[in-house]
Structure 1
Amino acid sequence: MGKMLLIAALASLAAGSAVAQDLKDEYRVSTVLPAPFPWGQAAEKWAELTAERSDGRINLKVYPGTQLVQGDQTREFTALRQGVIDMAVGSTINWSPQVTELNLFSLPFLMPDYAAMDAITQGEVGERIFDIVQQNGVVPLAWAENGFREVTNSKTEIRKPEDMQGLKLRVVGSPIYNDMFTAMGANPTQMSWADAQPALTTGAVDGQENPLTIYTTLNMQDLGQNNITLWGYVADPLIFAVNSQVWDSFSADDQELLRQAAVDAGAFGIEVARKGLTEDDQSLIDEIRSKGVNVVTLTDDEKQAFKDATASVYEDWKQKIGPDLVDAAEEAVANR
């Protein structure tokens, strides 16, 4: 009996060693933005919690600036699916060229507030989107947030679509953004963020659209971006995800550890992304105004003019995304 127990104990130790040997020294996590941006903070928190909860067995290293795909944000999902990247905290916008349904979050004025975004991501629609992502070869674990995207420029105050006539605005590399800004009369130009910063500095482009956490961290008022319109036309939820083969290499316990660490890091990231931008805390907006920036908040009637201008884009993309999915999202928003 004693001999059998010894054999069992040795077998257990051998199994444990095999699991340890199967783990990589480092799992590469791709993001677009580093800390101190909320995006980078969420990714770093995932790495921190994973290391802590695995007693250092699982080492995630964050590679910001999409450096693992030479800075091309729209290639990140493909690289993750192919295993060039192990894991990512990725943008629904940047992944939408490969997963059309992710354009849901870029439908103009679908989500009027944070409660609407939560109603989609944290409910049945969010589960359906995760199923779709998984069918595309990537395992999604949790949501984080880059935030609502506001438009800024160096030329003029924007209160109506006519104010955007001829403005050269940097937009992200997803076709729906070209469609939206063209419909509003602007001259959209797609470029990576790495290219956008010098373009804003030199005045090669007049403006851009991004969450205010990015505006403030980069001090965009120093790039001439002294007009901001708060319109919350789209938001950019983020997804913690793992390459499917990498995911399958983990034990069930480690999979659960990674998933829960992502959920907790995502909640942290969302809190950071919304700080100073909620109805009961406008401190970030106040800080921006204190730097001499003209911050415009659209009235309901003013916002409706932009909705009307982009209504045909909304309907066109609803068909591409899938009417059933969009209908479910609209219902979730209405019932929030």
Structure 2
Amino acid sequence: MSLNATRRAMLLGGLATPFVAAAQPAYKSEYKLSVVGNRPIPFAEGAFQWAELVTQRSEGRINVRVYPGSQLVGGDQTRELLAMRQGIIDMCVFSTINIAPQVREAGIFQLPFLMPDHRAFDALINGEVGRDLSAIMDRRDVTALAFGENGFREISNSKRTIRAPADLRGLKIRFAAGAIFNDIYNALGANPLQMSFADLQPALSTGAVDGQENPVNLFLGFRMDTLAQKHMTIWNYVNDALIFGISKSVMASFTPQDRELMRECAVEAARRNIALARQGLGIPGTDDSALQELRRRGVEVTVLSADEKRAFAQALRPVFDRWSQTVGAELTRKAEAAIRAVS
């Protein structure tokens, strides 16, 4: 056979070979997304919206189901990070409070009175601190796609008005997780008690604890005014950042297009979550309808002045200094510099 005839035979043979498309990755029938609490609080709403956006925009190829109340970890939200690394959950909207015991750098958001306002919070999540924390999560097998906001945590109780550090003496105050909160409330003379959110409501209703600290939107959503919580102090001592995270191995299993879809949906859900978390608090761009609703329900609302907040910050400065070393001196320096730049 001539050389030209051989080439023609090879070409014809190639054309006769059936085309084999690139294999589509085998996706799970369901991806599990864990979150603390449930609708209507903005924290949980962010998780539900993320799941809905992904499911809709992928036209069902990526079917995400939300498991609220941290039910996949028995209601113990501090176990969500471990559960993701074990493959029990695929996605999570993490509270930085709940993961700080395992990821010490996440404790930057719990340093008392570090962030004076929402501009300071935004400077952290959108700047070098946020990028550093994302890289740290990556080393923990989690891809951080976006940062959201649970909200500034305010303190409520059943006993009395809180305006000064001395007012906390003897009060039994529940906190979610993290030894820093134990140190904060001990320094103020309170009796801190750690418990899951699932256990908080019955503890308030029976008087096992006198008070708790959570964002206003959560207080309203779960009707804590019906659990003897009649005194609320707006002191803005910490703001709990949220991380919209997905298992690195799960993220890697998607096509590049679906990885980008997952990221875009997380960013959009986080943006919506932040807007909801700030609604009605009287900050620039919102009214004070949430605070007015507290008063309508019979809750005494005490908004601390700058001088009153300063008194708490001074009382807690030893706690701040000690824990900034645990979080990381360099990360704390970056945070303080970012906040100064927007103050």
Q: TM-score, normalised by structure 2?
A: 0.93
**Which residue matches 1:290?**
296
C-alpha change, 1:160 and 1:254, in structure 2 (3 Å) is: same
Extract structure 1 runs of 4+ deviating beyond 4 A.
1-8
Residues 135-146 of structure 1 mapped to structure 2, 5 A cutoff: 135-146=139-150
Residues 207-218 of structure 1 mapped to structure 2, 5 A cutoff: 207-218=211-222
**Which residue matches 1:306?**
312
C-alpha change, 1:290 and 1:11, in structure 2 (3 Å) is: same
Tell me, yes or no, if the aligned pair for 1:81 and 1:244 is still in contact at 8 Å. Answer: no
Mapped partners of 2:201, 2:154: distance in 1: 16
Structure 2 alignment gaps of length 5 or more: 1-10
**Which residue matches 1:328?**
334
Which of the numbers 11, 32, 47 marks the counterpart of 2:20? 11
Structure 1 alignment gaps of length 5 or more: none
C-alpha change, 1:250 and 1:292, in structure 2 (3 Å) is: same
Displacement after TM superposition at 1:7 (Å):
5.2
Q: Which amino acid aligns with 1:127?
A: R
CA radius of gyration, larger in: 2
Mapped partners of 1:220, 1:51: distance in 2: 33
Q: Which amino acid aligns with 1:282?
A: D
Residues 1-336 of structure 1 mapped to structure 2, 5 A cutoff: 10-12=19-21, 15-16=22-23, 18-19=24-25, 22-280=26-284, 281-336=287-342
| Local SS of the residue matching 1:146 | strand
More displaced 10-residue stretch of structure 1: 158-167 or 237-246: 237-246
Displacement after TM superposition at 1:3 (Å):
7.7
Mapped partners of 1:205, 1:5: distance in 2: 77
Mapped partners of 1:166, 1:237: distance in 2: 29
Displacement after TM superposition at 1:60 (Å):
0.7
CA deviation digits over 1:134-161, x for unaligned, max 9?
1112111111111110000000000001
Q: TM-score, normalised by structure 1?
A: 0.95
Q: Which amino acid aligns with 1:331?
A: A
Displacement after TM superposition at 1:279 (Å):
2.2
Question: Once superposed, what is the RMSD of the aligned Cα atoms?
Answer: 1.4
**Which residue matches 2:5?**
none
Q: Which amino acid aligns with 1:316?
A: R
| Local SS of the residue matching 1:139 | strand
| Local SS of the residue matching 2:69 | coil
CA deviation digits over 1:260-311, x for unaligned, max 9?
1000010011111111114241111011112221100111111111101110
Tell me, yes or no, if the aligned pair for 1:32 and 1:64 is still in contact at 8 Å. Answer: yes
